Amino acid sequence: MTMEYTQLGRTGLKVSRLVLGTMNFGPQTDEADSHTIMDAALDAGINFFDTANVYGWGENKGRTESIIGNWFAKGGDRRDKVVLATKVYGNMALDDSPVWPNHDKLSALNIRRAVDASLKRLKTDYIDVYQFHHIDRSTPFEEIWQAIDVLVQQGKILYVGSSNFPGYKIAQANEIAARRSGTIGLVSEQCLYNLAERRAEMEVIPAAQDYGLGVIPWSPLHGGLLGGVIKKEVQGGRRASGRAATTLADPVARAQIQSYEDLLDKHGLEPGEVALAWLLTRPGVTGPIVGPRTDEQLRSALRAVELELSEELLAELDEIFPGPGPSPEAFAW
């Protein structure tokens, strides 16, 4: 297959329509297998890799970035071929350390501390897209952009994105950036968005489109619910756990997922591939984040790029998973 590329929001940066998520690297996938998956992704044309400083979690916070850094260190132009995105916000102090302030969120001090630590773990001297993992209600954007301006001038970061921002914060961030000479503002928003969770369509995605941000959906399979979870249970495969199991315990939600699987079975299509392909049809979407644990999961995600969904099927999917509609019509007359 041939990977498709698009520009990230209003920038000239070209990225693949699939984003390699690395959250499983360390906690669920060991370093050797993580390196194999990254090599396979790069060979398939995926050039956009997403991570975060807290990935690895608990006492292993930072482990995922270190795994990626060790992969870069193997050479072969790996770093030059990758558009690297990581995140800042989470508390990076070790769990058994004394509680000291300024180890988290978006103060100028923590941003400076966090980016240097990420660069060291990633074994690189720059980050392509540095993302705010969450809004910081305590730090004004004037302070945040001042810190970012310094890092851009130092060549440590190139672009800035947001994650889990509401629409009004996207607007606020970029309006304040526009008042600062030379500050480009946010160029991407990474949000929860999939067939079963479409609230982002109300305000987050319209705000991103108006301000020229690329939209990067996370959890495109909604925690596995859109990946054929009921069929897998029936066939004796991996059973749903966590949020997916809780959702399936609700008869109404289970019936909805069953209708989805039945529809795609009728069309001879794989649920997980359709869920990804649907996102690729949505206005404003740059590409969803896929987090394969195996080579087969990566191949399945790649097939979604070439999968064309008919207008009939798209309409049937809307019937099963109706979106909220645009705001304010979604909540007003």
Could you give all domains of the chain from N- to C-terminal order, each with its CATH number? 5-223+273-310 (3.20.20.100)
Average pLDDT, integer, range 97-119: 92
For 128-146, write each residue's pLDDT tens digit: 999 999 999 999 999 999 9
Q: Higher pLDDT residue, 16 or 233?
A: 16
Mean of per-residue pLDDT scores for the chain: 95
Determine the average pLDDT of the residues in 276-294. Answer: 96
Query: Residue 290: its pLDDT value, please?
Result: 98
> pLDDT class for 125, splitting at 50, 70, 90?
very high
**Residue 233 binned pLDDT confidence (cut-offs 50, 70, 90):** confident
What is the pLDDT confidence band of residue 93, given thresholds at 50, 70 and 90? confident
Structure pTM?
0.96
* pLDDT band for position 244 (cuts 50, 70, 90): confident
Q: What is the pLDDT of residues 160-204, one digit of tens each?
A: 999 999 999 999 999 999 999 889 999 999 999 999 999 999 999
Q: For position 162, what pLDDT does the model report?
A: 98
Q: What is the pLDDT of residues 209-226, one digit of tens each?
A: 999 999 999 999 999 999
Given a cut of 80, whether residue 238 has pLDDT beyond it is: no
Contact call for residues 33 and 69 (beta carbons, < 8 A): no
| Strand bridging mode 5-7 / 14-16 | antiparallel
pLDDT of residue 181: 85
pLDDT band at 289 (very low <50, low <70, confident <90, very high): very high
Residue 97: pLDDT above 80?
Answer: no
How is 114-149 classified by DSSP, letter by letter? HHHHHHHHHT-S-EEEEEESS--TTS-HHHHHHHHH
313, containing H or E segment: helix 311-320
12-22 tens-digit pLDDT: 999 999 999 99
Question: What was the pLDDT predicted at 237?
Answer: 67
Instruction: Please state, in angstroms and rounded to a whole number, the distance separating the CA atoms of residues 209 and 203.
Output: 10
pLDDT of residue 259: 98
User: What's the whole-number mean pLDDT along residues 304-322?
Assistant: 97
Kindly state the average pLDDT of the residues 218-246: 87
Q: Is-catalytic flag, 126?
A: no
**Angle at the Cα of 184 (from 178 to 185), degrees rounded to 5?**
75
Name the band, by pLDDT with cuts 50, 70 and 90, for residue 242: confident
Instruction: Inform me whether the pLDDT recorded for 98 exceeds 90.
Output: no
Whether 236 has a pLDDT exceeding 80, the answer reads: no
Q: String of b and e for 268-295 (b: at least 16 CB within 10 Å)? A: eebbbbbbbbbbbebebbbbbbbbbeee
> Cα–Cα distance between 53 and 63 in angstroms, integer?
8
Strand, coil or helix: what is 68?
helix
Q: Is the pLDDT of residue 96 over 70?
A: no
Instruction: Indicate which residue of 55, 89, 193, 260 is catalytic.
Output: 55
Instruction: Give Cα separations from 130 to 43, 127, 233 (angstroms).
Output: 24, 6, 39
